[in-house]
Amino acid sequence: MSEQHAPNPPGLRSWLGLLVVLGPVLLVSMDGSILYLAMPRVSQALAPTADQALWTLDIYGFAVGSLLITFGNIGDRYGRLKLLMVGAAVFGLASAASAFAPSPELLIASRALMGIAGATLLPSALAVLSELFSDPKRRAQAIGIFAAAFAAGFAIGPVAGGILLERFWWGSVFLINLPVIAVFLILAPILLREVSTSRPGPVDLLSVVASALGILMSVYALKQAAAEGFSLLPALVGLAGIALLIVFVRRQQRIAHPLMDFSLFRDRVFTVAIITGLLPLAAWSAAAYLSGMYLQSVLDISVLHAAFLALPGALVLTVTCIATPMVVDRVGKRAALIICHFSIAAGLLFLLPATISGGVGWYIASTCVAGLGYGISFAVVADTAVGAVPASRAGSAGAIAETSNEIGNALGIAVIGSLAALLFRLQGPDLAPTLDETLQLPGLSDSVMNDAKSAFVIGLHAAAVVASLLHLALGVLALRWLPKEKRETEQPVNEVPQEAVDHVKA
C-alpha cells in the first residue's frame, strides 16, 4: 500500500496534473472507436479483405484488453510514471506509423502496437492521480472526471473521425494523437511524480502468453468462420486458443501471484458487474461500426453528416456517465444495472425498422435510448465490482473490471460483427465478401446493388436482435440475482480504498 498522506486540499499542480493525465486516457479510449466511421475510407484506400478489415478494427482492443493486467503488474513493481512515459512515447510513434501505413498488413501491425502501448497507459494513469489527490473526497471527484473522460472518448471517437475525414485523408484520425502525446511528454515529468508501491512476486510470463494468445487465436477462428466458412485450420487454431485460455484460468488458481483472481467471481454482484462491463461495450462497438457502414454505404450519407448524426447518442452517453453517480446515490446500484440492460436492449431494437431506403430517425433514436444504458455501464461497473469485494482485493477487482470493458469493445466487432459478415456472405450477391468491396465492382446493376445493401441490412438487424436478447437476459439475471439494497447511508459512498486507487483503471 502506498504511503499515507495527510489530506490536503489539491492545488493548481494537482488539477493541472489531472488535465495532463486525461490527454492520453482520452486518446486510448477514442482510438478504440475512431475507425468506425473511417473504415469505408480506409477500405477504399487500402482495399483490405473482410478479415483484414475486422482485424484492423479489433486488434487494438484485443491488445489493450489482453495486456492491461500484465502492465498493471509491471507498473506496480517497476514504477507507474516510468511506464506511463514509455507507453505514451510508443503510442505516439505507433500512431504515426498507422497514419502512413501503405498496406492493410502494416496498418494492422501498427494498430497492434498502439494497443500494446495503450495497455501501459490505463493501469498507471489513475494510480498516479492518487499522489496528486490525497484527500479521499477530492480523489473521488478526480476519479469521476477520469471515468467520464474515458467514456466520452469512446463516444466522441466516431464523431471526431468523421469530422477529420471530411477535410483530410484517413490517416489524419491517427495524427491527432501526436500533439496530445507531445504535450504529455513535456509536462508529465514536471507535474507528476512516481508512485512508489511494494508489490511482491514476479510477473508470470506463462500467464501473459496464455491469455494473450488464447484470446487472439479464439477470435481468429470466429472471424475466419464468418468471413470464409468452416475450414480445418481455423477450427484447430480456435481449439488451441480455447485450450490456452483454460490453461490460463487453471494456472491463476495455482500460482502464488496470479494476474487475475478468479475466486472473485464467486460473488454474484461482482459477476454481474463484470458481465455488465463486457456486454454493453460489445453491443456498443458492434452497433457503432455496423451503423456507420449503414449510414455511409447503404444510405450514401457523407462521413461528416454521419458524424453529426452520431452526436445526440454521444451526448446522451456522456451526460449519463457524469450524472449516474449522483442518481445511484438515490436509486442504488441494483436499479441502475437493471435499467442499464433493459434500455440497451430496447435501444438496439430501434434499428430494426431501418431499411435500404431510410432509417436515419430510427438510428438516432437507437443511439439515444441505448446511450442511456451505455453511460450507466461505464459509470458504475468498476465501482460496483470494487464495492462487492473486501478492500484488500479491490485492486484485482478493478483490474478485471477494466479488462472486461476492453475485451467487450473488441469482442463486439469480432463476434457480433462476424455474425453480420456471415449473413452478408450467405444472403448477398456473392460477388465480394463485404458490402464496400461489392459496391466498388464495376458495371453493377441497380438490382445487384440493392441486393447487396439488403443483405447488409439483414446482418445489421440480426446483430441488433442478438445483442438485444443478450442484454434482456442479463437484465433479468440482474433482477433475480442482485440483492435489494438498503439505503447506502452507513458508509461514505465517495471514499475509495487506497488499494483500489492504486490498481483500478477508470
- Among 214, 229, 258, identify where a domain stops: 258
* 499 and 436 fall within a common domain: yes
pLDDT at 93 over 90: yes
pLDDT tens, 28-60?
A: 778 777 777 777 788 888 888 877 887 888 788
- Among 226, 258, 290, identify where a domain stops: 258
Q: Give burial (CB, 10 Å; 0-12/13-18/19+) of 56.
A: buried
What is the mean pLDDT of the segment spanning 161-172?
82
pLDDT tens, 403-437?
A: 777 677 767 777 788 788 888 888 888 887 778 77
Number of structural domains the chain divides into: 2
* 367 and 398 fall within a common domain: yes
Write down the pTM of the prediction.
0.71
* 252 and 346 fall within a common domain: no
* 113 and 246 fall within a common domain: no
- Among 258, 274, 298, identify where a domain stops: 258
* 106 and 145 fall within a common domain: yes
Range(s) of the domain holding residue 72:
12-203+259-503
Q: Give burial (CB, 10 Å; 0-12/13-18/19+) of 172.
A: middle
pLDDT at 222 over 80: no
The pLDDT of residue 127 = 65
pLDDT at 223 over 90: no
Residue 310's CB: how many other CB atoms inside 10 A?
Answer: 26
* 70 and 159 fall within a common domain: yes
* 174 and 232 fall within a common domain: no
pLDDT tens, 451-505?
A: 999 999 999 999 999 999 999 998 898 888 877 766 444 444 444 444 444 444 4
Task: List, in order, residues 6 or more apart from 255 with CB less than 8 Å away.
Answer: 204, 207
* 248 and 106 fall within a common domain: no
* Rounded Cα gap, residues 154 and 189, in angstroms: 27
The pLDDT of residue 246 = 92
What DSSP assignment string belongs to 121-162?
Answer: HHHHHHHHHHHH--SHHHHHHHHHHHHHHHHHHHHHHHHHHH
Could you tell me the CATH number of the domain that includes residue 115? 1.20.1250.20
Distance, first Cα to last Cα, the chain: 19
Question: Is position 458 within any domain?
Answer: yes
